[in-house]
Amino acid sequence: MLPTTIPLDWYLILSAVLFVTGVVGVLTRRNAIIIFMSIELMLNAVNLSLVAFSAYSGDIGGQMFVFFIMSVAAAEAAVGLAIVLSLFRNKQTIYVDDVNVMKW
Amino acid sequence: MQIDYIGSLPLIVIWLALGAIGIVIQAFVRDNTRLVFGYYVATLGLTGLAAIVLSGHKGASFGGMITLGGYANYFDALFCGAGIMALLAARPYLQKEESEVDEFYTMLVSSVAGMMLMAHASNLVVLFVGIELMSISFYVMAGFFRTSTKSVEAALKYFLLGCFATGFLVYGMSLIYGGTGSLAYGDIARTVVTQQLTYPTLFVVGTTLLVIGLSFKIAAFPFHQWAPDVYEGAPTAVTAFMSTAGKAAAFSAFVAVFVALLPAGWTSEIAQNQQIVIAVIAAATMLLGNITAVVQSNVKRMLAYSSVAHAGYMLMGILAGPSLGTDGMNGHHAIVFYATSYLFMQMGAFVVVGILERRDGGFLNIDDYAGLHHRHPVLAALMAVFMFSLAGIPPFAGFFGKYMLFAAAIERGFTWLAIVGVVSSVISAWFYLGLIVKMYFQDAKDSGHEAPAGLAGFTLAVSVVGVVFFGLFPQLLINIFRSW
Amino acid sequence: MNYAALIPLFPLVGFAIIGLFGRRLGSEKVIGSIASLAVLASFVTAVAVFMGLTSMPADARSFTVPVYTWIATGSFSVDIAYQFDQLSILFTLIITGIGFLIHVYSTGYMHGDRSFPRFFAYLNLFVFMMLNLVLASNFLLTFLGWEGVGLASYLLIGFWYDRKFEGSGIVWTGDAAKKAFIVNRIGDFGVLLAMFMLFNAFGTLEYATINAQAGVVLGGQETLVTMITLLLFLGCTGKSAQIPLGVWLPDAMAGPTPVSALIHAATMVTSGIFLIARTNVLFAMSPTTMAVVTGIGITTALIAGTVGLVQNDIKKVLAYSTVSQLGFMFTALGVGAFTAGVFHVMTHAFFKALLFLGSGSVIHGMHEEQDIQKMGGLKKYMPITYKTFLVGTLAISGIPLFSGFFSKDEILWFAWLNGSPILWAVGALAAFCTAFYMWRLTALTFLGKERFDHHHVHPHESPKSMTIPLIILAVLSAVGGLLGIPHVLGHPLHLPNLLEEWLAPIFANGVALLPKHTGDHTALEFTLMAVSVGIGAFGIWLAHSLYKDGTEKARALGARFSAVYKLLWRKYGVDEVYDVLIVSPIVVFSRSFLWKMVDVVLIDGIVNGSARFVASTGNVIRRIQTGVAQHYALIMMVGIIALIAIVTVPMLK
């Protein structure tokens, strides 16, 4: 499929909408796992924009970057779930606003 | 793809040692922390040595994604040195806390590998991988005391906010890629100079987001809020490492990125706009960090807030930029000098805190330090030297770092910013000296017994020698900088 | 004369040896000897360098000994280099000479202290830093010394950290130390900013270059010169305890007495005068700054002098006296009488060190008693201390032929000649206060009835190690003034003003920029001299008649002041009218207003108030650190949106 049929702007707008959705999720949800899923959404929005740029400029670099982002996201997921798990073992909660021993 | 195997040796050594041999050792030799510890100290030593030997070997490698020699190799050596110091300090600390696990050393060395990538990067992809490798290792290390509420809380906050910031960082990179059509620093710089930006707005928003992502890593206002909580909650040995080497790594990337994004200095109208933004961030960071540190009662938290302020000082060097002629004050050199001296003084301070810390997490209040010089005259004297250096009092290294940063800012017309810096320095003298007053001019409340410093003594010795030596002979470092 | 670089080295070695080995060196004798010999070695070397300088032609008496390049980046290059010339060698001789005497004295005074080695390590460190300050060939090395002496002073003020100390807003000696350090930091950063500006203008921080090119580089830029010099002067007000940063010095008396003598009287507090003398060309280029220096100097001299009238702590009287005398020195600098200012630094170093050491001897003999209301009649128990203290009192009061007479009179004369008669009058009033409180101190301590408890206190003379330095300083206080005999006295007798001739090349460029007052004023000068001597003598006489028998008379006077005015008139006659009309109002005014209002409320209030402001701001802004990660993310988001808006909005136009 030739990318010229759909303008680049559309991809960018979609990616921005996805990104903002992710941001809003991070800011509004209490559950640590859902917050992390929102962050994943932000990263995937970025992936979309990278692929779009790459396709329109004919440069392969952007698509290569996407693979790195995906693998880093996987590593983050592994670490993140482990942290959430040990949080639950310590405090029997995964709600972020319950975790505020250190403040001020 | 062209690979300069000789020049890339530091990277190759640490990658092989970590990814191939290290994993094998840990897989087959169970629970031999001593072996793993020694192995990684040797690895970092070898890597650092290779970096020093090859520092004159300049060029590019891995298809131009990596720069070699000079600046990057200096940071390699710095990170490896910091890594060794942190390893030596961490072992007695972890043993005291009865949580010594060999994976800790692996995580620390892999964060060093990430930092080295950040300094070597000449491509946004490599920068991203480096930042994430460092950060993910830090997330794990921050939460290393799995049963400690504070440690896990630190890890969670660091992880969530760090990933959130990463989202903006990569979005910024993506927009820069869209705006310039390339991910390589060199190509980006060329496009900016020749003004062939395909989408200028995307590029400007992208650079802003990239700066925000990096500002998070250096803990600049208003992206600093993770730092006090994480530095307080993380195991002290980890805080010692990530608040120093982590900050130095973020600044090494910051400087390299700015050279690419602003090849012509702060001349264009957009750049001047960004310059004011960074100046305001720097001022707010310095003031906020120091003013909040004044009212802290926990030593780690106080040092954490003050570490925020130090990032503000270093941002002044970004503003000043490289020297325009041959005889100006070089803002980037000032940053590297400051990062180096900060590494010694801040790590030294945290290591002292770690030695004194009790198994149950006690002895972290500033009041606990009362009369310390009776019970531990040497530790108290070392702490006093670190505090004086952090407060910027000559002849310690911290003074010259600050001097160069302030001078560079004034030279570029940011007199008001230097005055803010000076004022916040006066404020910082209050709490740094407050600790000395506690240690020297008050009597002890309790007389506990601390574990012997052990290997951490070596870290302290190196730190204090660094703080004093580079204060008396700053020229040695500056000569290195000028050879780049 | 490369060996001159050894001068600062000796005390550094002393500091290193004592600091590293401490008690392991052996007895107090060994430690005290190492520390004293280190300073003596510097003094001997300094004398040799001085001799070398005298053998050179007068306009070439300057040489620099580079040690190594400290830092060089771009055009910014600073050497560790020591500059020996007329000014720096004079200060070096004072520092090492008096420093040596005070080291010897301290071996007696600190005998038996549990931290004896620590004390001498700090003292050597101080001498090293002070020598760096005065010998530096550039601003940055001076600044190193400047901070270093502050550090040493800080360590020594808090030396007896476990003692309570009553000061304004503080309870422990440690608080006094911290206060001194932080107040000084404010001034130090003035110096730092001035250094940046000087480097921007000159491209160097070398004194020689700056002084030589000042006219070319800064000519016509009076605002810039005024800013630079005012910032430098801010540093001077910190180090030399002038208004508004002078609050720390009276509290610094928490330190051991030899420290007060060396650091807070003879040497460190005069570094402000040194800095202005070093950069006299810059100061002379800005009439505004000179006026500010004069104004601050004379105001400080008067306020501190009047506050000194009502103090009852022997060391606090001397502390306020020091502040007041420093004010005199700044007045001299401000009216362009640089030599007179430096001359007073020298004579003041002699007699104030003497007075402090004398007071230390009294405190030592009285078992740590410092309240002069509980002394009296010590003359017969401590004859040597009494006699030497008397010499110091006469010298500071400006009694002819004692050293203070020459220097103070020269300052007052130039205040009239280059300033105005009003300036002279205020100075004379301050001089009156000086004579009054010093005699009050002497009388209450050594004369009259014994008011101490004989069962618990057995006054005794101090050991030889303490009295011999007192005698040497007394001799210097008596005859030291002969180095600077004013022309009006020296000319008819064919006696030269040695000091003025010696320092002339240093101040030549600065003085050349200032307006000249020529003509023959011999008669006027003699008259003013006579008047000021009379004022001093009157102050002594008044204090003597009031306090020779203790405080009752003065107290009675105060009590009857309002009630039985007429009775008092008839009974005490004309003498007491003077008391009532002049002394009591001053006493009441200074006690109720100047001390309480100006010193405690206003000046201390500014320092303590800004400290409270910072702390309460900190307490407010720490609240944004709620502890909840999402709140942090929200604040980040606000910041991100703001930054993107700031950067992109201009692009939309």
Among partner residues A97, A99, A104, which is closest to C625 by beta-carbon distance?
A: A104
Calpha distance B118→B134 (Å, rounded): 9
Which one of B148, B156, B163 has the shortest CB-CB distance to A99?
Answer: B156
Identify residue B382 by its one-letter amino acid code: L
Tokens linked to B271:
């750049």
Q: Is the pLDDT of residue B303 over 80?
A: yes
Query: What is the structure's pLDDT at C134?
Result: 95
Any CB–CB contact under 8 A between A48 and chain B? no
Question: Which residues from chain A sit within 8 angstroms of residue C628, using beta carbons?
Answer: 96-97, 99-100, 103
Tell me the C-alpha distance between A27 and C168, whole Å: 50
User: Rounded CA gap, B441 and B434, in Å?
Assistant: 10
pLDDT at B217 over 90: yes
CB contact under 8 A, B441 and C611: no
d(CA C426, CA C409): 13
Contact across the interface for B125 and A61, Cβ inside 8 Å: yes
pLDDT the model gives residue C571 = 34
Reported confidence tier of residue A2, pLDDT bands at 50, 70, 90: low
3-state class (DSSP) for residue B86:
helix
List chain B residues with CB under 8 Å of C651. 200-201, 204, 270
* Beta bridge partners of residue C167, listed in sequence order: C170
Which two structure tokens, joined as six digits, stand for B201? 């707005």
- Which residue is closest to B225 within chain C, CA to CA? C632
B93, part of any domain: no
Q: Is the pLDDT of residue B83 over 80?
A: yes
Domain span at B447: 266-484
Q: What is the CA radius of gyration of chain C?
A: 26
Q: What is the pLDDT of residue B110?
A: 94
Chain-chain contact of B293 with C618 (C-beta, under 8 angstroms): yes
Q: What is the mean pLDDT of residues B255-274?
A: 77
> Which DSSP letter does residue A72 get?
H
Q: Which residues pair with C164 in a beta bridge?
A: C172
* pLDDT above 70 (res A82): yes
User: Is residue B165 less than 8 Å (CB to CB) from chain C?
Assistant: yes
ipTM field = 0.95
Phi, psi (5° rounding) for residue C399? Answer: -75, 130
Residue with the two structure tokens 């932080």 = C182
d(CA C607, CA C602): 9
C-alpha–C-alpha distance, residues B82 and C209, integer Å: 42
Residue C623 is given by DSSP the state: G
Across-strand partners of C77?
C72
Q: Which residues of B touch C643 (CB under 8 A)?
A: 208, 212, 277
User: d(Cα C210, Cα B180) in Å, to the nearest integer?
Assistant: 49
Cβ within 8 Å, pair C193-B422? yes
Residue C422 tokens read as: 């009003």
pLDDT of residue B438: 84
Domain boundaries, chain A: 31-104
Asked if C161's CB is within 8 angstroms of B394's CB, the reply is no
Residue of C193, C643, C652, C653 to mutate, interface with B, max B Cβ within 10 Å = C643
- How far apart, in whole angstroms, are the C-alpha atoms of residue B333 and residue B330? 5
* pLDDT value at A3 more than 60: no
Residue B347 lies in a domain: yes
How far C162 CA lies from chain A's nearest CA (Å)?
32
Question: What confidence tens digit (pLDDT) does each residue in C581-616 have?
Answer: 555 665 666 556 555 555 555 556 666 677 778 888
Count the Cβ atoms, other than its own, within 10 Å of residue A85: 13
The terminus-to-terminus CA distance of chain C in angstroms comes to 69
The answer to whether residue B178 sits within a structural domain is no
How many domains, in total, are found in chain B?
Answer: 1
Please report the pLDDT score of residue C422 as a whole number: 92
DSSP readout, C196-248?
Answer: HHHHHHHS--BHHHHHHHHHHHHTT-HHHHHHHHHHHHHHHHHHTT-TTTTTH
**Partner residue opposite A23 with nearest CB, options C627, C628, C637:** C637
H or E stretch covering C79: strand C76-85
pLDDT: which is higher, B164 or C76: B164
Measure Cα distances from B312 to A103, B221, C298 in Å.
21, 8, 41
Residue C237, token pair as written in the block: 């007000």
Instruction: Tell me if residue A63 falls in helix, strand or coil.
Output: helix
A16 by Cβ neighbours in 10 Å (0-12 / 13-18 / 19+) ranks as: middle
Q: Which of C222, C238, C235, C267 is nearest to C100 (CA)?
A: C267
Low-confidence stretches of chain C (pLDDT < 50) are 561-579
Report the alpha-carbon distance of residue C471 to residue C473 in Å, rounded. 5
B164: which chain C residues are within 8 Å (Cβ-Cβ)? Answer: 633, 636
pLDDT value of residue C561? 47
Task: Name the residue of chain B whose CA is nearest to A11's CA.
Answer: B178
* Residue to substitute from C628, C635, C636, C644, interface A, most A β-carbons within 10 A: C628
pLDDT at A43 over 90: yes
Residue of C109, C113, C124, C115 whose CA lies nearest to C40: C124
CA distance C632 to chain A (A): 9
Find the farthest-apart pair of alpha carbons in chain B and give their distance in angstroms, rounded.
69
B379: Cα within 13 Å, side-chain hemisphere: 26
Residue C566: the pLDDT is 42
Q: Dihedral of the CA atoms C258, C260, C264, C265 (nearest 10)?
A: -70
C401 vs C202: CA distance, rounded Å = 45
Per-residue model confidence (pLDDT) at position B339:
95
B74 domain residue, yes or no: no
Would you state the pLDDT for residue C575?
40
d(CA B136, CA B134) in angstroms, rounded, equals 6
Q: B298 and chain A: CB distance < 8 Å anywhere?
A: no
* Cβ contact B329–C76 (<8 Å): yes
Distance from CA of C101 to the nearest CA of B (A): 28
Place of tokens 């806390």: B97
Asked if the A31-104 domain carries CATH number 1.10.287.3510, the reply is yes
Query: Which of C258, C263, C478 shows the shortest CA–CA distance to C361?
Result: C258
Distance CA A59, CA C317 (A): 82
- Residue B407 pLDDT exceeds 90: no
**B55 near B45, Cβ under 8 Å?**
no
Amino acid in position A83: I
Helical ranges in C240-312 per DSSP H: 248-251, 257-261, 271-278, 280-285, 287-308
In a domain, B110, yes or no: no
Domain for residue B388, yes or no? yes
The verdict on a CB contact (< 8 Å) between B159 and A35 is no
- Residue C618 and residue B289: Cα distance in Å, rounded? 9
What three-state secondary structure class fits B182? Answer: coil
